[in-house]
Amino acid sequence: MGRKPRIEYYGAIYHIIHRGNNKAFIFEENEDKIELLKIIGEIKEIFDFYLLAYTIMDNHYHFVIKTHNISISRIMHRINTRYAKYYNKKKGRTGSPFEGRYRSILVQNESYLIRLIRYIYNNPVYASICNSMTKYKWSSDVFYRMNVGNLINIEELLEMFSVDRLQAIKKYEELMDEPPEDYKILKEEFEQAEFIGNGEFKEALNKENKFQKTISLDDILKSVCKIGSDYELIKEGSRKRYLVKYKQEYAYEALRHGYTTDEISKNINITGGAIRKILFGTK
């Protein structure tokens, strides 16, 4: 049975967390972190979203993303697929380097961003890698302090403080430089909760989510097939070349609705390896 669909709408803000498979260090080398940032930059040129903050650790990343016309599912699928292809080629391996489904935690509004961003910037401090967020190279904190907006959409946060950019940066620095709060409390609030917001926000979303129904895999397949005979051929496990594009679209959409690659592959009578090859270019 599929997982609950993600709640997606124009202007939604998400805290995204994804780890290496079995907590592997899939971003261990500097060139790996550079490649991930390069991929994000290229995808921002194609898709419509804001990257408000990031921290890249050796075995996982944190992003804060604000979406517009493109869903978070499509954005993250593109980022993770591109990185998986890069990493697998570099290591001569197959399969997804990521551990299961990424975490996407919906944030109520901009008023919750300060503590959330301070938390993800302090991850290296909590991990005893450094004693200050300013000492860690692989976060977006420096973009705000240096007033450099390109990869990071710094204006979204800074304009909350002041229309005067210098005053806004000063306020940002004051807030970021406050002593880190208790790690366990923040981890529960910002990583383990379903939503980041006040009680009314969480109650409303829980009520809405309770009645959502996940579309079936067969209905997803029917929606991407142009004619019924193509649907039947795919269900029978046909390997006709022209059907690959339909299988790929079906697999992407099924992932978006929370199905695993094994569930997706079994529904069309092919192996999990074949689905992963369609999705990630691996065997």
State the 10-residue block means of pLDDT for the chain, 283 residues long: 62 94 94 98 94 98 94 93 96 91 88 93 96 97 95 94 96 95 92 83 63 71 88 89 88 74 84 73 50
Alpha-carbon gap, residue 118 to 69, rounded angstroms: 27
Residues 6+ apart with CB under 8 A from 156: 50, 52, 66, 110
| Residue 204, pLDDT score | 67
Number of other residues whose CB lies within 10 A of the CB of residue 153:
19
The β-bridge relationship of strands 103-107 and 60-67 is: unpaired
Write the Ramachandran bin of 147: left for phi over 0, alpha for psi from -120 to 50, otherwise beta. Answer: left
What's at 121, amino acid-wise?
Y
Size of the chain, expressed as the number of residues it contains? 283
| Residue 213, pLDDT score | 44
| Residue 248, pLDDT score | 85
> How far, CA to CA in Å, does 262 sit from each of 54, 99, 233, 255?
31, 14, 19, 11
| Residue 101, pLDDT score | 86
Alpha-carbon gap, residue 155 to 140, rounded angstroms: 13
Structure tokens given for 10: 């124009």
